[in-house]
Amino acid sequence: MAAPPSDPGATKFAVMVPSPPTAFSSVGAPGSVLGTNSWPTETDGPALWRSVGAYLHDSLVTALSCTGDVTYNPLTQGSGATCTSSGNVTSLTIAPPDDYTGRTIEGFQVTLRLVAGNASHTWPSAITNAVLPAGMTLKATTTLNGVDTLKCTYYATPQKYYCNIESGTQQWQGLDSDLTALASNSTSGFWARTGSGTGSARTTASKGLGLGAR
């Protein structure tokens, strides 16, 4: 069969066939070296795509060695950690979320579970570089296997984590309308609840041979 005649006015196309792609070598263990730079496992949240090979790290929760001076590095150990005491914990530090380029991630969050491996184990009163809610201590649930869970957010200024206690014996009491009404009262006297979320201050006065409220 003869080839069709060539059309001088037709548009000609060239098809480029790429050569086989070069395979990327696998990334090593968390914190290993990629070229001349350390390769972080997680910096911006529980799931992070990075350029150069798109490295995905999905909410790794690590078990810390939990005795003596404990340092938790969320960059290489994931955004969650469990610290089950195997002895007295002398101090606890959470490393700042630095991605090895000098960039510290503002607002980076970590979750830390503190478990009493033995009721006799002692704990520090606070995290070295963190701020706890006023009046709260780091580990209040010290019974065997007692758990306190903290959620901490990092702020570059003043280079500290600010933590809330999510579970344990120190949890804040939930908002209650009756307590809110009492807190908003500025009148001295005995507080009387007069309805849901409302009340009034009462005083006492002499009434005949006894005392009566009014």
Residue 104 falls in which region: left (phi positive, over 0), alpha (psi -120 to 50) or beta = beta
Whether the Cβ atoms of residue 65 and residue 49 lie closer than 8 Å to each other: no
Through-space distance between the first and last CA atoms of the chain, rounded to whole angstroms: 115
Q: What average pLDDT does the segment 26-51 reach?
A: 44
Q: What average pLDDT does the segment 170-184 reach?
A: 73
pTM of the model: 0.55
pLDDT at residue 141 tops 90? no
**Tell me, what's the pLDDT at 44?**
43
The rounded mean pLDDT for the chain is 74
pLDDT-derived band at 166, boundaries 50, 70, 90: confident
pLDDT tens-digit profile of 84-114? 999 999 999 999 887 666 677 788 889 999 9
pLDDT-derived band at 34, boundaries 50, 70, 90: very low
Rg of the chain over Cα atoms, rounded to whole angstroms, equals: 31
pLDDT tens-digit profile of 61-84? 789 999 999 999 887 777 889 999
Whether the Cβ atoms of residue 170 and residue 136 lie closer than 8 Å to each other: yes
- Residue 214 and residue 206: Cα distance in Å, rounded? 10
Name the nearest CA neighbour of 31 among 76, 62, 98, 63: 76
pLDDT at residue 132 tops 60? yes
CA 214 to chain centre: 51
The burial class, CB within 10 Å (0-12 / 13-18 / 19+), for 174 is exposed
